Structure 1
């Protein structure tokens, strides 16, 4: 339960901070000045797409929180046998960090109207994400060759399920990233793709944060971290 509480707290803080930046409680009808200078008008600084993405990420975060909760409760039963973590998983994590950093680069480049930087960031981010997914499949293959099959133990089932769900969300992000990259490649105006690049970057950062929590849980690092925090508080 400690892991699920920690994860939900992190998600709540991130979502709360992000929503606070959107000025959802602004009252533009009470403001004075040109209409385009204030949020909630025709030139709204937080479009509906960003709000929709925020709601979607909250739902996805809740889904993974349920997985973490189920994992934490199931691992305390006697038939649980933790499987070894392949070293390739650490390489995959580094590749996903690179993918998130590349999309952040593309987002910064889009704000500076640097089209070349946007293209490089999107291509590197997409290629790194595909590499991560291929690496995850290789991890599955290694575990299968070692005899850690899906139905042979509850720990194995959770590992395959959690990594598969995370991979599916990343594949969904690749669809949006591919559409954005295609627009940029065809020479679309920066004003038409800037928001899409930003949304892709936010989504990638979220998936990276989720994966780091999942990796900590699968390797047992999360429990060690919680124990250290308890000792410091005591």
Structure 2
């Protein structure tokens, strides 16, 4: 329970920081001058797409928090026994970090208007995202080949379910990222392009954070951290 509360607190801090950066907490009635409708200018309203993404990420974060809570609760059952973590997951984690870094690079290039470098960064993010999904599928195959099937014990079921749902979220983001990559090569105005890349980068950073928490959970680090927090509290 301590780990869940800490995760929720960290999630709330990240969302609050992001909202502050996007000027969602600004008070336009206290600002001098008339409101402007031009996007990108300081004091302009937050785009609806960013508000929608923030709400969606909050829901996704709550969903994975419930999964983590159920995972930690179910671990106390007598029929629970752990499963090994494939070494490939370390590689997949590094690949996802690279993909997130490439999108941050693309975000920077979009702001300064370097179109060629932007295309390279978006392509790198797209390729590494595909590699991450492929690596996750191979990790599943390795575990099943070793006899860790879905219905063997609850630990296996939770692992396949949670990583599968995370993979589906990555796949959905991949479709949007692919669309942004293609449109960046042919059309899309600079303002819309910056917004699209910004949304992709925010989504990717969040999914990386979720994966790091899940990886720590499956590796057993979260349990040790929860025990430490419990000892500090008591």
TM-score relative to the length of structure 1: 0.92
Deviation of 1:178 after TM superposition, in Å, equals: 1.0
SS of residue paired to 2:36: helix
Could you list the structure 1 runs, at least 4 aligned residues long, displaced by more than 6 angstroms after superposition: none
Deviations 1:36-82 (A, max 9, x none): 3999x997252111111000000000000000000000011110010
Counterparts of 1:73 and 1:43 in 2: how far apart (Å)? 46
Correspondence for 1:32: 32
Correspondence for 2:194: 194
Correspondence for 1:110: 110
Matching of residue 220 in structure 1 with residue 223 in structure 2:
no
Deviation of 1:121 after TM superposition, in Å, equals: 1.0
Counterparts of 2:4 and 2:29 in 1: how far apart (Å)? 42
Counterparts of 1:89 and 1:36 in 2: how far apart (Å)? 48
Counterparts of 2:102 and 2:197 in 1: how far apart (Å)? 11
Counterparts of 1:90 and 1:57 in 2: how far apart (Å)? 25
Matching of residue 77 in structure 1 with residue 80 in structure 2:
no
* Residues 1:29 and 1:16: Cα distance change in structure 2 (over 3 Å): closer
Unaligned runs of 5+ in 2: none
Matching of residue 2 in structure 1 with residue 5 in structure 2:
no
Deviation of 1:191 after TM superposition, in Å, equals: 2.1
Structure 1 residues 167-206: aligned runs within 5 Å: 167-206=167-206
Correspondence for 1:161: 161
Contact 1:97 1:208 in 2 (8 A): yes
Deviations 1:69-105 (A, max 9, x none): 0000001111001000000010000000000000000
* Residues 1:164 and 1:61: Cα distance change in structure 2 (over 3 Å): same
Contact 1:35 1:42 in 2 (8 A): no
Contact 1:37 1:43 in 2 (8 A): no
Counterparts of 2:233 and 2:195 in 1: how far apart (Å)? 43
Contact 2:180 2:197 in 1 (8 A): yes
Unaligned runs of 5+ in 1: none
Counterparts of 1:4 and 1:170 in 2: how far apart (Å)? 23
Contact 2:151 2:157 in 1 (8 A): yes
Correspondence for 2:67: 67
Correspondence for 2:152: 152
SS of residue paired to 1:35: coil
Counterparts of 1:137 and 1:58 in 2: how far apart (Å)? 27
* Residues 1:84 and 1:101: Cα distance change in structure 2 (over 3 Å): same
Deviations 1:5-61 (A, max 9, x none): 12111111111111222333434345333533999x997252111111000000000
* Residues 1:114 and 1:60: Cα distance change in structure 2 (over 3 Å): same
